Structure 1
């Protein structure tokens, strides 16, 4: 403890009085070195579903611009926007045909410039998706690549000439046959696509391709954006000899796909060429296959990325539930591994997941609001940069689609077709989709109780959740106890308390299967967070009496009664409590 306090004194001495900043910072634990992206509260916007301005049923940039004051009111400090580049939209924009253009559905470059200016005027930073593991097959690079084996763009992609025989099997996540090699008759060769057939993988072994990407990044950085989120980049490096892989590897393909080859060399080159020259943040999608991988990606002395984005927790929920003990153990291990070096994101939802409250909480009318607030409390009180998905601040739920025709996700539709072709269990698949489909997180934002939830005056590209008349912004805005206004309290609390950003994390009552309890501590200040993850009352055993602690925030309308013997606390269903100790 004495060493910890001395290190904290040294931190503040460096920040406020040290003239030799570089020398001082070298002795501060890396995790406590202040950076804007560590203190950011990131709000993820799915542009296709946020707000439609022109009645075509598709959200757009002008729609986002019209809601900038709303975004500001949330208390968030950065926006991560899903891809808005030109795209034929096979995978909702993750198939880019022009990295310097704006998708017509979303508007124009002038609209983008206005959006960026409007965010910056409100003190909000903008992080953009960088989709460069693959491009669209309609990108000019690929069009040229497939015209001739001698094309200067041939080596921008991975090709296997057919006279060599059929290439060794590679698993595709989105292909209807899960086959990542697609035969192209034009040059009698196969091209590689880890995702859909319209998403050919780029060849990062080619230095010309790499520098094309860096030039694209500089184009956006010069416009003034504040960061990049690297989509699927863990897959970018490949063994281009494409050796045969063990039979059945596709059941656990990540060790064979993620963090291969010279990936770190590519990232270090990207850092040198781009990140080091601009005040931008960088975040990976994923964190590799181990803590060592994650540290190699994000430790400051590696000169690669700023933070990792681990998927361990969001992959946990299943229709039958999940283990809170496992959940707690995962987050505690990640915190312990990054207590002194590196930095991670904290999140429970994104565009590739179903709704947070439906997966981790309880979306029944009785408990939806309470469990939404409880989950938000968790995200906003953990160490790491919080990423929060649009609509979760309202407590939006899964849509509950029953028919395959209701789904728009190419991956879901292709898998449905594969099961039909092979006689698979369609009923089981539909049940799994209802719970876990990423289309659940992509239904239109519920602005009010009018037609189509106020999202569009036309026909929405995907159906609106039927509960929009009950769950919507207009209904929650003026309710002081709404999920929305509770979220605003949380963002304010986090911004006012640096200990919730940099403070030490310590888990309490670790074997409790119902309650997640932990403290955050910094510079003599300490907070206690108690979260009941169940629909029944639950008790938590604390190491000391907290009867004199100050209640900072509670997700119930009525605060809990004081107990003079408060080393054992009984929490109401899905109750969240934050105390100042």
Structure 2
């Protein structure tokens, strides 16, 4: 495999955020302390000992700000308020203090591409066309009563929504119509955002994960996009994602906020090419690290609608993963992940043989991603091997994107059964089902029979209570990975060492981290036995043993091993 990128860095600066192990919490589904069916801030505080036991050092908490919850908190009505169903500001301050006492830092979601339509700014903008807040958002006149252009929103339908009681006037939304985009062209709006960010950082949080930030710059011609669907619309991404001029906004954002604090900034940066990584995460980059989605959307063509599925193979994943690692290494630092609140469960997505969608497959995937160069992010439930659900009706879904993709599939000519299959595989609700704490009817999510979202239903087989004291559980394997990366004699290499691919068969993803030692990772992503050549000390293995024949190791189906390479082995 030939990967041509600029010369790699030869030394690595040490920063606290490179040494973290981050655990992402979707608060609505983590733990419900007051039995109202919705997870809350006190629920996170009550489960801190579980997170300490696992070994994580930083929590990323999805939005808990005041919100009508159209998009489960990613529609913010008050950036300095706490949504009552999650608790209060006092609850959050208690959590920050309790986590700090246990050496756990907290970062929050920063959603500044758009707000809720219930935000006071937007309500004022709607009520008074002459208000200065009208320019905090994007309002455009239509074309003879039709929308200003043909852009399709991320959640389907036109990006333009008619303004009530104003003829031929529309407002813009990249996502849902109740999530109007903020107008970053307005310096007064930007100043308000920076003040809010600094306010939060001064409260003691460790930083932010920055949501959808590559959408803040829109092509100011607002011209039509290429039509790419039977609805006659074109994707908004063509004219609003990572567009020329965004560098001015992001440079200013960094200078006015993050650079003024000892904090971490993690950008959600879809649409950024590898050639642009240096701008985003280089020495003078906008962020400390970014998520790379080039391999995360391998199962969907161009990260597009869910009905555009691919028939990917392990070799494809290997090539994408290695290209990502080499590009990030050449520029800066990455945030490595298998799952998040916008992705289906990795066990159901990446393990194609259902016979291995179990603890073997979960451990294999864990080893594959955890030792890549970059900061590992674990999504809640990943550490116990939670899987996708199987829903029978679209009424069982909460996620607005799932509902949109279901109807888009029908519009494109697929049957109801096919549409349900696409959504079951790819729904964001797969990762949002209540955490399975135990085997009880409500999976220990609370002490009632209420839950805001239907459970996956397999909590009798997969739950934390069974795994925390089980020596060979997925949870125990994650603890071992964290121990190996952060607290063993190999930690300097596994955190700061260089990444290099290892040649192997198509089904085996193999790489090494090179520092004062050489640590090798081999993962067989097939249901066939695969041979590898190496020699050294086995540090981690998701099977009880590693078979050897004729001087070569034999990887069993979905076997993963981490080996400290014998320095005498060529």
TM-score by length of 2: 0.91
Q: For residue 3 of structure 1, what is the aligned residue in structure 2?
A: none
Q: 1:164 to 1:216 in 2, by over 3 A?
A: farther
Q: 1:392 to 1:505 in 2, by over 3 A?
A: same
For residues 394 and 11 of structure 2, what CA distance do their matches in structure 1 show? 46
Q: For residue 555 of structure 2, what is the aligned residue in structure 1?
A: 571
Q: For residue 308 of structure 1, what is the aligned residue in structure 2?
A: 290
- Please report how far the alpha carbon of residue 384 of structure 1 lies from its aligned counterpart in structure 2 after TM superposition: 1.1
Q: For residue 335 of structure 1, what is the aligned residue in structure 2?
A: 325
Q: For residue 154 of structure 2, what is the aligned residue in structure 1?
A: 173
Worse overlay, 388-397 or 117-126: 117-126
Q: 1:168 to 1:367 in 2, by over 3 A?
A: closer
Count of aligned pairs: 541
- Please report how far the alpha carbon of residue 366 of structure 1 lies from its aligned counterpart in structure 2 after TM superposition: 5.2
Q: 1:54 to 1:321 in 2, by over 3 A?
A: farther
The answer to whether residue 218 in structure 2 is matched with residue 226 in structure 1 is: no
The answer to whether residue 241 in structure 2 is matched with residue 265 in structure 1 is: no
SS at match of 1:300: coil
For residues 506 and 261 of structure 1, what CA distance do their matches in structure 2 show? 33
Where do 1:166-245 residues align within 5 Å? 166=146, 167-175=148-156, 178-188=157-167, 189-245=169-225
- Please report how far the alpha carbon of residue 483 of structure 1 lies from its aligned counterpart in structure 2 after TM superposition: 0.5
For residues 321 and 31 of structure 1, what CA distance do their matches in structure 2 show? 39
Q: Does the 8 Å CA contact 1:506/1:519 hold for their aligned counterparts?
A: yes
Q: Does the 8 Å CA contact 1:30/1:341 hold for their aligned counterparts?
A: no
- Please report how far the alpha carbon of residue 287 of structure 1 lies from its aligned counterpart in structure 2 after TM superposition: 4.7
Q: 1:430 to 1:119 in 2, by over 3 A?
A: same
Where do 1:121-132 residues align within 5 Å? 121-132=101-112
Q: 1:554 aligns with which of 541, 544, 549?
A: 541
- Please report how far the alpha carbon of residue 372 of structure 1 lies from its aligned counterpart in structure 2 after TM superposition: 0.2
- Please report how far the alpha carbon of residue 232 of structure 1 lies from its aligned counterpart in structure 2 after TM superposition: 0.6
For residues 17-61 of structure 1, give each alpha carbon's deviation from its aligned partner in whole angstroms, at most 9, with x where no partner exists.
xxxxxxxxxxx9486101111121111111000000011100000
Unaligned runs of 5+ in 1: 1-27
SS at match of 2:377: strand
Q: Does the 8 Å CA contact 1:363/1:397 hold for their aligned counterparts?
A: no
Higher helix share: 1
- Please report how far the alpha carbon of residue 126 of structure 1 lies from its aligned counterpart in structure 2 after TM superposition: 1.0
For residues 98 and 172 of structure 1, what CA distance do their matches in structure 2 show? 23
Q: For residue 485 of structure 2, what is the aligned residue in structure 1?
A: 494
Q: 1:505 aligns with which of 494, 499, 509?
A: 499
Q: For residue 402 of structure 1, what is the aligned residue in structure 2?
A: 392
- Please report how far the alpha carbon of residue 400 of structure 1 lies from its aligned counterpart in structure 2 after TM superposition: 1.2
Q: 1:455 to 1:313 in 2, by over 3 A?
A: same
For residues 554 and 415 of structure 1, what CA distance do their matches in structure 2 show? 39
Where do 1:34-49 residues align within 5 Å? 34-49=14-29
- Please report how far the alpha carbon of residue 92 of structure 1 lies from its aligned counterpart in structure 2 after TM superposition: 0.5
The answer to whether residue 242 in structure 2 is matched with residue 256 in structure 1 is: no
Unaligned runs of 5+ in 2: 1-7, 301-308, 566-570
Q: 2:141 aligns with which of 161, 165, 169?
A: 161
For residues 495-533 of structure 1, give each alpha carbon's deviation from its aligned partner in whole angstroms, at most 9, with x where no partner exists.
0312112212221225x221111111102x111111111
- Please report how far the alpha carbon of residue 252 of structure 1 lies from its aligned counterpart in structure 2 after TM superposition: 6.2
Q: For residue 385 of structure 1, what is the aligned residue in structure 2?
A: 375
Aligned alpha-carbon RMSD (Å)? 2.0
TM-score by length of 1: 0.89
For residues 389-414 of structure 1, give each alpha carbon's deviation from its aligned partner in whole angstroms, at most 9, with x where no partner exists.
11010000101112112111112223
- Please report how far the alpha carbon of residue 238 of structure 1 lies from its aligned counterpart in structure 2 after TM superposition: 0.9
For residues 271 and 381 of structure 2, what CA distance do their matches in structure 1 show? 29
Q: For residue 520 of structure 2, what is the aligned residue in structure 1?
A: 528
- Please report how far the alpha carbon of residue 260 of structure 1 lies from its aligned counterpart in structure 2 after TM superposition: 1.2
For residues 355-392 of structure 1, give each alpha carbon's deviation from its aligned partner in whole angstroms, at most 9, with x where no partner exists.
01110125846551001001011121111111111101
For residues 414 and 351 of structure 2, what CA distance do their matches in structure 1 show? 30
Worse overlay, 405-414 or 274-283: 405-414
Worse overlay, 163-172 or 125-134: 163-172
Q: 2:415 aligns with which of 391, 412, 425?
A: 425
- Please report how far the alpha carbon of residue 140 of structure 1 lies from its aligned counterpart in structure 2 after TM superposition: 0.5
Q: 1:355 to 1:367 in 2, by over 3 A?
A: closer
Q: 1:291 aligns with which of 266, 274, 277?
A: 274
Worse overlay, 42-51 or 454-463: 454-463
Q: Does the 8 Å CA contact 1:288/1:294 hold for their aligned counterparts?
A: no
Q: For residue 3 of structure 2, what is the aligned residue in structure 1?
A: none
Q: Does the 8 Å CA contact 2:294/2:324 hold for their aligned counterparts?
A: no
